[in-house]
Each structure stands twice: as structure tokens, then as C-alpha cells.
Structure 1
Amino acid sequence: MKVLRAADHKRMPWKNGGGETVEIAISPDGAGLAEFDWRVSTATVASDGPFSVFPGIDRTLSILEGKGMRLFIEGREPVLLTRESDPLAFAADIAVSATLPDGTITDLNVMTRRGAVRHAVARHFIDGEKSLASAKGIFLLFCAKGALAARTGAQSIELDAGDAILLEESDGGRLDLSGQALCYAISIEKA
């Protein structure tokens, strides 16, 4: 189990230069925005505009802070994504733009290279104790709000808002959580 502390996340400009992203994890380590197999990040969106295009990439967005973002995804009806919405999956290599009906938002962005790996994102509210089964492949748990203790086997880690843990398949299949937090469970496996 690898701990990814909020203070250590990498800040960088968006691919299209329109804002800033905070990289939580990327594979392979040190990959650039054109070479990654998978990437998990947050971004603060402060103005309307187009999304960066990532050829051959699938993405899932979740709103962490703010009142929402209206997405215009090529070939789909416009959708208002809010903190209460389920994570929204769509291709990152088609035209997408967004408007902010009620101001700045922060989102969680999970991207995987189509044909190489695939991902799933689930939101979990922890109020007390909860166990999650980690999938085959990579499992990342991002603590969006609150604080919790995460335990797998004999190893226990405290997480605060913005922290994450990364589990490989060899770390075991179950993660025991306790505390009060809003978390996102991200499963990444080979396609």
C-alpha cells in the first residue's frame, strides 16, 4: 500500500493551458500527458471553455467542490454534473466544452488509455466503518473530504482530505475503512 499525500501531489498547467491540474498518480511513473497509461488528478475550473483533447483516452469526471459544471460532449445531450451526480464517463478524444452556471468548481479526473487499461470510479460516504473489495489490478482510494483510517492486512494508514492510497493486486483484496469521509474508489485493470 502506497500513501499519496496531498502535499506531495504535482501541480502543472492543463494540456491546453487553460488552467491548473493537480496530479495525484500516473502510470508509468514520470510519464508525460501524451504517454500515460492511466492518470488520476484534480482540477480547479474557474471559467467556461473547451476541455483538453487526449487521443485514445477515456475519462471519468466527478465534481468535488462547487455547484456544478454543464458539459457539452460531442454526440450527447448537455449534462449538468454536480457533487450529487454519479461520476460521468466519456471519451477524452472528442470535442467537450463546459460552462460554469454557478462559479468555480473542483473536479476529480480519472483517465485511462483505451485498449490498454480500463477504469471504474465509485463514490463512497464513510460514516463509521466500511469495507471495500479492491479489484484486480490497481486500486486507488482518494479521500475528498473528512478523515479516515484505511487498513489492509496489518498495515494501517490515516488519510486526510486530498490524500490517497494506491494498492497493487499483491496488497490484498480488502480495504477496511473507518472514520467520516467522502471517498472515491478507483479501479484500474488491464483491458
Structure 2
Amino acid sequence: MSKHNIGKPLVFTFIPPERFLTSRWKNGRGVTHEIARHEENGAWVWRLSIAEVASDGPFSRFEGLARILTVIEGAGVNLHSPEGAIQARPLVPVHFSGSRAVDSRMVDGPIRDLNVIYDPARIVAAVEVLTGPCQHEVKVGPVGVLALFGQVAVAGRVLPVGVFALGSDGAIDLSDGAICLLVTLRDKALITLPPQDLSPPDATP
């Protein structure tokens, strides 16, 4: 298990920004900081990253995958495609297909965003904004937590702003006014369906 290829961690690991894997975009318009990813047979099951988007331009396409983008700094970005426009605004997660041809237009200058890219045939993914004071219990994983503001604690440890926690089975505590993003990645094969009533229908007239 490496810091950039994590499947199902059993405890929370804190990943500081200096451990992110950074790469510049070929078009020169941005930078991707990869936090973690899980692969099987050379294909992505999921990837978590933070992008710095400096100017307008096309997004990379990820055929067969799905995306959740959440702006964490800046005024936002409009994502234009033949299917229509998506308005991505601060702390409002937006979902779209990785196969979608997207051309981005900045609202008012550069942004930073958290990106969740995943295989929708394998994974049920969600991004939730948590605001303190609150406590959130995590029983399944993997989940990710990105502290954005104030005091956030994960499994009894303070999570500094900008640090990402990845793991499962613990409590997330936010002090008054604190903000974090909670990423949930659930394996569809492990999701238990509610029992079905297989009794015959009542034939009584």
C-alpha cells in the first residue's frame, strides 16, 4: 500500500500537501496534486486530487469514469459542454461524466478544486460539506476528509487545514465554524441491499 495507491485503509492516514504527487498540465493552464488513488489491473477504481486551475481551457477526459468537482478556493468556474453548462461554485459539489467534453471558464480568476474521479460501475461516491459544530461517525470506508477551516479532528487527532485524512472507522469532530469536505467511496459489491419480501401476494378478495 503506497501513499498514491490506496485501496481500503483500516485506519486513518494523514497525508500532508508535501506528500501529494504534483504534475503540471500539458497545456500549462493548471497543476494537479494527486492525493491518493486505487487501481486494479492498471485501471483506476478511484482517484483523489486537488487541482489549481489558472485560466480558461479544456478539461481532460476520463472515458468510462465519473467525476465530482468541488471548488475550495476562488469564485468558481463554469463548465461548458454540448450537454449544457454546469456552474461550479465554492463548496458546492458538482457531478458529471468523465467522458464529457468540458471547456472551463473562470468566474473571477484562478481556483482550486477537489476532484474525485471514480469508476461508477464499481464505486458509489459522494462529497459532503460538513460545518461545525458537529460530529460525524464513520463506520465504512474508505472515506477522505479535507480540513478547510477551523479545528477539525479525525479519530481523535487534529487534522490541520490543507491536510487530507484517508481511512475508516472513526469520528469526525468539527468545532464551531469549522469546515471540511467528506469524501465517501463505497464499493458496490459490498453494499447490502434490504431484504425482499418473497411471500406470495394476498389473494383474499
| Pairwise same-fold verdict (TM > 0.5) | yes
1:187 and 2:202 equivalent?
no
| C-alpha distance in 2 between matches for 1:94 and 1:146 | 35
Alpha-carbon distance in structure 1 between the residues aligned to 2:178 and 2:44: 29
Q: Paired residue for 1:140, among 141, 144, 160?
A: 144
Output aligned runs, 1:119-158, within 5 Å. 119-126=125-132, 128=133, 130-134=134-138, 136-151=140-155, 156-158=156-158
Letter of the 1:132 counterpart: H
Report deviation, 1:136.
3.1
More strand by percentage: 1
Correspondent of 1:4 among 8, 15, 25: 15
CA distance in 2, matches of 1:36, 1:159: 27
Between the aligned partners of 1:100 and 1:13, the Cα distance in structure 2 is 19
What's the TM-score once normalised by structure 1's chain length?
Answer: 0.82
Deviates more, 1:2-11 or 1:39-48: 2-11
**Contact 1:60/1:87 (CA < 8 Å) preserved in 2?**
yes
AA aligned to 2:121 is G
Unaligned runs of 5+ in 1: none
Structure 2 spans left out of the alignment, 5+ residues: 1-11, 189-205
Indicate the SS of the match to 1:7. helix
TM-score (norm 2): 0.77
Is the CA contact 2:79–2:102 (under 8 Å) kept in the aligned structure 1?
Answer: yes
Which one is further off, 100-109 or 140-149?
Answer: 140-149
Asked if 1:111 corresponds to 2:105, the answer is no
Q: What is the identity, as a one-letter code, of the residue corresponding to 1:7?
A: E
**Higher alpha-carbon Rg:** 2
CA contact (8 A) 2:138 2:172 kept: no
Q: SS state of the match for residue 26, structure 1?
A: strand
For residue 117 of structure 1, report the CA deviation from its aligned partner. Answer: 1.5
Report if the CA contact (8 A) 1:62-1:83 is conserved. Answer: yes
**Alignment size in residue pairs:** 175
Aligned-residue identity in percent: 29
Render the CA deviation track for 1:112-162: whole Å, top value 9, x for unaligned.
012122201101122x4x2213253311111123332222xxxx2221111
| Cα distance in 2, alignment partners of residues 159 and 132 from structure 1 | 14
| Shift in CA distance, 157/18, structure 1 to aligned 2, threshold 3 Å | same
| One-letter code aligned to 1:118 | V
Q: Is the 8 A contact 2:69 2:93 kept in 1?
A: yes
Q: Distance in 2 between matches of 1:15 and 1:26?
A: 21
Partner amino acid, structure 1, of 2:65: I
Does structure 1 conserve the Cα–Cα contact (< 8 Å) formed by 2:29 and 2:54?
A: no
SS at match of 1:37: strand
Q: Which moved more, 1:51-60 or 1:137-146?
A: 137-146
SS of residue paired to 2:63: coil
Q: Given that residues 77 and 106 in structure 2 are in contact (C-alpha distance below 8 angstroms), is that contact kept between their aligned partners in structure 1?
A: yes
Q: Deviations over 1:39-67 (max 9, x none)?
A: 11111111111100011110001111111
Q: Which moved more, 1:36-45 or 1:136-145?
A: 136-145
Root-mean-square deviation (CA, aligned residues, Å) is 2.1
